[in-house]
Structure 1
Amino acid sequence: MTRPGAAASASSAATLRPGEPGYRRAILALFAAGLATFALLYSTQALLPVLSTGLSLSPAQASLTVSATTAALALSLLPVSALSEKYGRTAVMTASVFSASALALVIPFAPDLTTLVVLRAAQGVALAGLPATAMAYLGEEIHPKAVASAIGLYVAGNSIGGMSSRVLTGAVAQAFGWRASLFAAGVMAVLCAVAFRLLIPTARNFRPGPVSPVALWRTVTGHLGTPLLRRLYLIGLLFMAVFGAVYNVLGYRLAAGPFGLSQTAIGLVFLVYLVGTGASAASGVLHGRLGRRGALYVAVVLAAGGLLLTLADSLAAVLTGLVLITAGFFTGHSIASGAVSRTATTGRAQASALYLTAYYIGNSVGGTLGASAFHSAGWDGTVALCLAAVLGVAGITLHATRRAVADRRLTVPAGRTA
């Protein structure tokens, strides 16, 4: 019989370590997959004003091309990622990235809004096989001491993919139109999919198991029954609603007076998205100094201050506000998502999938409502909606702070003061 210690050593020995060729291949493969995922997910976001003109759409109608994808992804995350428990991480990720990339080559030929939205929703379902499955693959195949850095590189691919798709589609649309820009994003995704398949090492530690809907339901309801997790899910939803609304409507605001920016210039504005990389890294330091709730208050102040700045008819003020909104969002998102992993003692993959589900629902709802508010009340309406969501985060955090203070008072021994 194998001793537990020996089994653990054998399992650790079978994982990939930094410096090994297999480790580099795995990181590059998942970097490519993450880049493709977020390039496709947000491929139409920088094009919304062009879509409105080309297809005679209102901002709310055009925003459905983003919201339909993120909503379909959100609703498909749990069931699709669960398939990887039976069929394998690599198989599900491969099917996901190739099917989503294939759809990307068809989407530019959509004749009308309905067809475009249906195809984008199908693309969201296809993409659902990547986010949670990629995390599981890294957890199983990478040496435990290197998992955090490996996930950080995967998230970097996500961030760069989200930014590059906005910049690429904006530039190509300026010269050749929105259909050509979406086709260019599709070609980039296909190249990333091929790179992923050629690079990804064969899984050595995956053990297939049955997919039990009953067990999955129990895990999900258990997480939803935990008050702290519910609060964290709602915080993620509200922050992402702000982010989705701002970035969906931003192109309309900058294309109109007094700015009048070109489509290429609007695409370049999305480089501000890279602020999130620094904010995500700084959130760990912030959490160490101020705690979870203190860091969330900082995120709220940054986002609210940024929203108010964007009300000015000054490009410098709008861009500064956008930097603050982006920093506040990524700080809040990093703190909330990290707290989910620490709070869940069992079923962590499902806990994270639930967070991502709330996160993308927030993107869909916020993007659509933000565009509707812009259509009816201009940028002021979008900002008012976003400020309400930010105040929601502040209220949830304040409620948690009061409960924590009350709990500490209850634990103080009699005869002593807190």
Structure 2
Amino acid sequence: MSLRARTAVFLLGLCALLNIYSTQPLLPDLAHDLHVPLGRSTWTITATTLGVALVAPFAGSVSDRLGRKRVMVAAIAGALAATLACAVAWNFAAMLVFRLAQGLLIPFVFAVAVSYLAEEYTGPVAQRANALYVSGTAFGGFCGRFLSGAATERFGWRSSFVVLALVLLVTLAATVAWLPRERGFTPSDSLLAGLRGIGGHFGNARLLGTCVIGASILFLQVGAFTYAGMRLKAPPFGLSTFEIGAVFAVFLVAVVVTPLTGRLIGRIGRLRTYLLVGLVSLAGLALTLVPSTPAVIVGLAASSTGVFSGQACAIGYAAEAGGAARSSAVGLYLTSYYAGGSIGAVAPAPLYTAAGWSACAALLAAVVGVSVLVALAVWRPAPVGRPQRHRFEEPLYD
């Protein structure tokens, strides 16, 4: 896999997560300028994640017919336009519509990129490519939040969307120029042919369990950073919008660690790796309870690292578990994943209002515990002596 191809894959991951949570450090500013309560401003996150959840099962079917790269390029261009539209939103309702539009386009990058990697690479190469892609999503999550916070502090919240649109423009150019065209792709006969594969997944217990794990992963991520961010802005911490945006630099830890997760899965297995990263996330949540800014930041770093490493475990399994209907399986996983994020943005709000961050942290820890129990049930290794199917390393690009 060439350096340019790896760069394009990384940028696709960045693009997939750049916009979704970019309003997290802006919530107080949006609430003030668009005249809504602070709690309602979290719907700028939920609108986007809801859009992703609605479209994700069908994105793969569209790309099954039209081709992977073509669909991703069109989606990035559309996301660029929707991001610029957010910069001129004249009221809260318009902002929600434009944020929903961003969400509707994201699966045509996220789900399709995962299917592209699963088709073009096999074995250890596929695991490393998936980990690189997820690492890109971690960097995108950081860039979206950090750049939004920095631009807002200097020029106001509208400028943040212009900055993110420029990042999307770079991603679009790199994808067009550097991402190789599909070689392992065979187009479906029609859009309905791809959609028919979705129904069969509801009898696949391992895939459905993986979807529950995905929902838990993003519930944790969105809940932790949304409400911990609010806590850091309030007394006794009193961080500014720029400083809260800078807190998301902890995602850079995940950028470094997540590619190593692919290797760890190869060495100790997917289940053991997920159990390990679950413990890391729980330890991080415990640290955020310490009334110290450095402790909260370190705790969020540990939690987010566990989240992205867990995502590397789950999304690769979803692609494998889908069999021939791989793209729709990934789409179903992403629907669950972002539905979990949508719930994680709003479900902890009553707890935060009534009892503060400690109650939110307890809820998030319970969600991690549930995901671990599900992983133990659905990711059991094959019994000893059962023949194993091997996928051979076959790099397609020099």
**TM-score, reference length from structure 1:** 0.82
Aligned CA distance change for structure 1 residues 267 and 57 (closer, same or farther; 3 Å): same
Aligned partner of 2:162 in structure 1 is 183
Distance 2:350 2:31 in 1: 13
Q: Report the secondary structure of 2:42's partner residue.
A: helix
With over 3 angstroms needed to count, the CA separation of the structure-2 counterparts of 1:324 and 1:138, relative to structure 1, is closer
Q: Could you tell me whether the CA contact under 8 Å between 1:60 and 1:372 is conserved in 2?
A: no
Matched ranges for 1:337-352 at <5 A: 337-352=315-330
1:85 is paired with a residue whose SS is helix
The 1-side partners of 2:261 and 2:173 are apart by 34
What is the number of equivalent residue pairs in this alignment?
Answer: 385
User: Aligned residue for 1:155?
Assistant: 134
Of 255-264 and 223-232, more deviation after overlay is shown by 223-232
Contact kept in structure 1, 2:135 and 2:258, CA below 8 Å? no
Query: Displacement, 1:237?
Result: 0.7
Q: Deviations over 1:40-97 (max 9, x none)?
A: 2222122223223333433431111111112211221221331122222232112101
For 1:215 and 1:155, locate their aligned partners in 2 and report how far apart those are by CA, in whole Å: 25
Say whether residues 1:47 and 2:46 are aligned partners: no
Deviations 1:115-151 (A, max 9, x none): 1111111111122211222234445556988554444
Distance 1:369 1:337, change over 3 A: same
Aligned Cα RMSD in Å? 3.0
Unaligned runs of 5+ residues in structure 2 are 387-398
Match of 1:61 in 2: 40
SS in 2 for 1:43: coil
Aligned equivalent of 1:416: none
Match of residue 205, structure 2, among 204, 227, 232? 227
More relative contact order, 1 or 2 (CA 8 Å, 6+ apart): 2
Aligned to 1:368: 346
Query: What is the CA-CA distance between 1:110 and the residue it aligns to?
Result: 1.0
Query: Residues 259 and 187 from structure 1, CA distance in 2 versus in 1: closer, same or farther, beyond 3 angstroms?
Result: same
- Contact kept, 8 Å, 2:127 with 2:262, in 1: the verdict is no
Match of 1:32 among 2, 8, 11: 11
What is the aligned-residue identity percentage? Answer: 33
Alignment of 1:277-288 (within 5 A): 277-284=255-262, 286-287=264-265
Q: 1:157 to 1:282 in 2, by over 3 A?
A: closer
Cα distance, 1:231–1:57 mapped onto 2, change above 3 Å: same
Maintained 8 Å contact 1:34/1:155:
yes
2:306 is matched with which residue?
328
Alignment check: 8 A CA contact 2:14 2:136 kept = yes
Shift of 1:391: 2.6
- Larger Cα Rg: Structure 1 or Structure 2? 1
AA in 2 matched with 1:43: S
For the pair 1:118 / 2:97, whether they are aligned, the reply is: yes
Q: Distance in 2 between matches of 1:33 and 1:282?
A: 19
- Distance change in 2, residues 1:159/1:390 (3 Å): closer
List alignment gaps of at least 5 residues for structure 1: 1-17, 412-418
Quickly say closer, same or farther: Cα 1:356–1:159, change in 2 above 3 A. Answer: same
1:197 is matched with which residue?
A: 176
Aligned to 1:74: 53
CA distance in 1, matches of 2:210, 2:217: 11
After TM superposition, the structure 1 stretch with the greater mean CA deviation from structure 2, 259-268 or 384-393, is 384-393
Taking the aligned partners of 1:87 and 1:36, their CA distance within structure 2 comes to: 21
Partner secondary structure for residue 322 of structure 1: helix
TM-score computed with the length of structure 2 as normaliser: 0.86
1:310 aligns with 2:288: yes
Give the conservation status (yes or no) of the 8 Å contact 2:58–2:328. Answer: no
Residue 83 of structure 1 is matched in structure 2 by 62
2: CA distance between counterparts of 1:399 and 1:203? 35
AA at the equivalent of 1:359: Y
SS of structure 2 residue aligned to 1:346: helix
Find the partner of 2:333 among 329, 352, 355: 355
Letter aligned with residue 71 of structure 1: L
Q: Distance in 2 between matches of 1:285 and 1:142?
A: 16
